[in-house]
């Protein structure tokens, strides 16, 4: 155990971890030439072991063996750095006071931690924090809240650690930043909400999670929806769900599929190799494509190739290519292409789509967002957007909220622990696309910055004072 503690106390470990982090960031950046940013995030940074493809270090024109190297992932490096920081912190900085002063220090520390937790959790903030006018003041007040927490923590450090207060505080700020990023990686969720003018949305489309939705539309009053998460659609597996009268055999799952083109527009060779599909695949060509590059800002369009099987006989009921290209919210509602299947007198609509999440407030009450008006101004004589904004009505009957609000560029709405940003719009300005982000640790970077700033300023100030004192002596 002693050797383990010594290892974590070592500065060599810090330097080694920082060098490994740089290598990982370098490889992850290069990997984005051929892969989407989210694939790279999962493969390199948001994992314990990263698998680095040797080919990322060479141009595509150079042929290199397909070697994959295991490497410490972002989580592992971040965790070891955090442990290293805590270990060094604990052994280097000792509390220098006793008695009453010690209790005063602990009291201030408790108060500082309470303020820190309050700032992170948004205590005292309005439940619907909408569209504060001035971006400068908005950021200024966030930093102000961070400064308050930092100042109280500094006071605690000053009482407990005296001249080393600045060093202690700035290390604590860095640790907070590392822990905050870890929580962001694990818990932050990105989604979109697409609404046409005059229409109401009650759900989000998760940006990075997908599902196969099979909707029984036979009933006149309600639709019965069965959703199968993408993670359960493993190639070769037969998925059997009690609510469905048939099974699904998964032939393939594609990270990215091409935009649909008429089947007769592809070469004969490609057409011959194309499976015989029912549904849209019968006349459209959609197949596995190379992932979009993270450098382009485009999105991957995942797809699944599934075959429906009669549960009793195992006979095929048709093989279907289901791509997210057919889902209206993925294509800004330019089209809507459900795959319709009829079986045993019932009708089913199939979509491979973004995972759908109901809009619920913190109390669990559902809420709805209606788009009242969408305004899109352009610079005169050009197509360059000058400003676009959404006038919305937010209604949550359970929590007694009914408000008209405006969301526009750089002026998001904060509600129910989510931030609604103006992100895009539908063709002909017929509607809006809001990016909806839930990140409970979003205040931590502001907080960490101010804690580190106060710590550094104190450290420099105290060092300067000591130097002047020595010079005077």
386 makes contact with another protein (CB under 8 A): no
Q: From the CB of 288, what's the least distance to another protein, in Å?
A: 18
Q: From the CB of 87, what's the least distance to another protein, in Å?
A: 6
In this structure, what are the phi and psi dihedrals at residue 470, rounded to the nearest 5 degrees? -65, -40
182 makes contact with another protein (CB under 8 A): yes
234 makes contact with another protein (CB under 8 A): no
Query: Are 176 and 89 within 8 A, CB to CB?
Result: no
Q: Is 268 exposed, middle or buried (0-12, 13-18, 19+ CB in 10 A)?
A: exposed
383 makes contact with another protein (CB under 8 A): yes
The residue within the footprint of another protein, chosen from 26, 90, 139, 238 (CB under 8 A), is: 90
Strand bridging mode 316-323 / 303-310: antiparallel
Query: Are 248 and 343 within 8 A, CB to CB?
Result: no
CA dist., res. 242 & res. 82, Å (int): 46
User: Stretches 313-321, 375-383, 386-394, 440-448: which one binds another protein (CB under 8 A)?
Assistant: 375-383
Strand bridging mode 339-343 / 200-201: unpaired
Q: Which two tokens stand for residue 385?
A: 């957007």
Q: From the CB of 292, what's the least distance to another protein, in Å?
A: 14
The 203-216 sheet, strands edge to edge? 128-130, 413-415, 418-425, 431-438, 189-196, 203-216, 346-358, 339-343
CA dist., res. 367 & res. 128, Å (int): 13
Q: From the CB of 225, what's the least distance to another protein, in Å?
A: 6
User: Stretches 57-65, 256-264, 390-398, 414-422: which one binds another protein (CB under 8 A)?
Assistant: 256-264
Number of residues that bind another protein (CB under 8 A): 59
The residue within the footprint of another protein, chosen from 158, 280, 348, 442 (CB under 8 A), is: 280
335 versus 460: smaller Cβ distance to another protein: 335
CA dist., res. 335 & res. 355, Å (int): 19
Query: Are 247 and 318 within 8 A, CB to CB?
Result: no
The residue within the footprint of another protein, chosen from 283, 311, 386, 403 (CB under 8 A), is: 283
Helical residues (DSSP H) of 93-164, grouped into ranges:
99-121, 135-161
Query: Are 24 and 71 within 8 A, CB to CB?
Result: yes
Q: What is the number of other CB atoms lying within 10 angstroms of the CB of residue 304?
A: 24
Q: Largest alpha-carbon pair distance within the chain?
A: 97
104 versus 179: smaller Cβ distance to another protein: 179
Q: What is the number of other CB atoms lying within 10 angstroms of the CB of residue 7?
A: 14
User: Stretches 99-107, 381-389, 441-449, 463-471: which one binds another protein (CB under 8 A)?
Assistant: 381-389
333 makes contact with another protein (CB under 8 A): yes
378 makes contact with another protein (CB under 8 A): yes
User: Stretches 11-19, 104-112, 127-135, 333-341: which one binds another protein (CB under 8 A)?
Assistant: 333-341
User: Stretches 94-102, 213-221, 266-274, 300-308: which one binds another protein (CB under 8 A)?
Assistant: 213-221
Residues 401-440, interacting with another protein (CB under 8 A)? 427-429
The residue within the footprint of another protein, chosen from 38, 183, 274, 408 (CB under 8 A), is: 183
87 makes contact with another protein (CB under 8 A): yes
CA 380 to chain centre: 35
User: Stretches 63-71, 262-270, 311-319, 414-422: which one binds another protein (CB under 8 A)?
Assistant: 262-270
CA dist., res. 425 & res. 35, Å (int): 26
User: Stretches 151-159, 276-284, 313-321, 449-457: which one binds another protein (CB under 8 A)?
Assistant: 276-284
CA dist., res. 437 & res. 445, Å (int): 16
265 makes contact with another protein (CB under 8 A): yes
The residue within the footprint of another protein, chosen from 99, 133, 221, 473 (CB under 8 A), is: 221
83 makes contact with another protein (CB under 8 A): yes
In this structure, what are the phi and psi dihedrals at residue 49, rounded to the nearest 5 degrees? -120, 125
Q: Which residues bind another protein (CB under 8 A)?
A: 1, 5, 8, 79, 82-83, 86-87, 90-91, 179, 182-183, 185-187, 196, 209, 215, 217, 219-229, 231-232, 241, 243, 259-262, 264-265, 280, 283-284, 328-329, 333-337, 376, 378, 381-383, 427-429
């Amino acid at each position: 155990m002693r050797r383990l503690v010594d290892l974590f106390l070592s500065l060599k470990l810090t330097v080694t971890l920082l060098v490994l982090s740089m290598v990982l960031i370098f490889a992850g950046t290069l990997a984005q030439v051929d892969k989407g940013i989210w694939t790279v995030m999962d493969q390199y940074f948001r994992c314990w072991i990263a698998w680095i493809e040797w080919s990322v270090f060479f141009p595509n024109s150079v042929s290199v063996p397909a070697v994959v190297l295991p490497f410490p992932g972002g989580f592992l490096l971040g965790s070891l750095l955090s442990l290293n920081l805590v270990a060094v912190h604990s052994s280097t900085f000792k509390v220098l006071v006793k008695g009453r002063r010690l209790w005063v220090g602990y009291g201030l520390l408790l108060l500082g931690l309470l303020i820190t937790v309050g700032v992170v959790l948004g205590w005292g903030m309005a439940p619907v924090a909408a569209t504060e006018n001035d971006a400068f003041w908005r950021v200024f007040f966030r930093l102000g809240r961070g400064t308050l927490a930092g100042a109280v923590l500094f006071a605690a450090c000053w009482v407990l650690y005296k001249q080393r207060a600045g060093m202690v505080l700035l290390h604590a700020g860095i640790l907070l930043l590392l822990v905050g990023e870890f929580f962001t990686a694990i818990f932050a969720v990105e989604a979109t909400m697409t609404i046409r003018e005059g229409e109401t949305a009650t759900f989000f489309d998760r940006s990075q999670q997908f599902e196969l939705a099979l909707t029984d539309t036979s009933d006149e009053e309600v639709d019965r929806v069965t959703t199968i998460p993408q993670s359960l659609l493993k190639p070769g597996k037969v998925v059997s769900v009690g609510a469905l009268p048939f099974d699904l055999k998964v032939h393939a799952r594609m990270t990215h599929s091409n935009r649909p083109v008429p089947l007769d527009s592809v070469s004969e060779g490609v057409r011959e190799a194309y499976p015989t599909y029912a549904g849209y695949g019968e006349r459209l060509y959609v197949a596995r494509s190379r992932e979009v590059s993270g450098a382009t800002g485009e999105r991957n369009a995942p797809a699944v190739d599934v075959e429906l099987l009669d549960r009793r006989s195992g006979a095929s009921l048709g093989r279907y290519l289901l791509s997210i290209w057919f889902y209206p919210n993925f294509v800004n509602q330019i089209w809507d292409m459900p795959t319709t299947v009829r079986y045993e007198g019932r009708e089913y609509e199939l979509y491979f789509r973004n995972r759908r999440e109901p809009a619920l407030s913190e109390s669990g009450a559902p809420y709805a967002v209606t788009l009242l008006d969408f305004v899109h101004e352009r610079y005169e004589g050009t197509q360059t957007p000058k400003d676009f904004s959404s006038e919305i009505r937010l209604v949550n009957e359970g929590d007694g909220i009914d408000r008209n609000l405006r969301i526009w560029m750089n002026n998001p709405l904060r509600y129910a622990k989510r931030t609604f940003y103006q992100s895009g719009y539908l063709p002909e300005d017929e509607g809006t696309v809001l990016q909806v982000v839930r990140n409970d640790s979003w205040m931590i970077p502001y907080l960490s910055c101010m804690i580190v700033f106060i710590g550094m300023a104190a450290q420099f100030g105290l060092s300067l004072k000591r130097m002047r004192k020595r010079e005077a002596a």
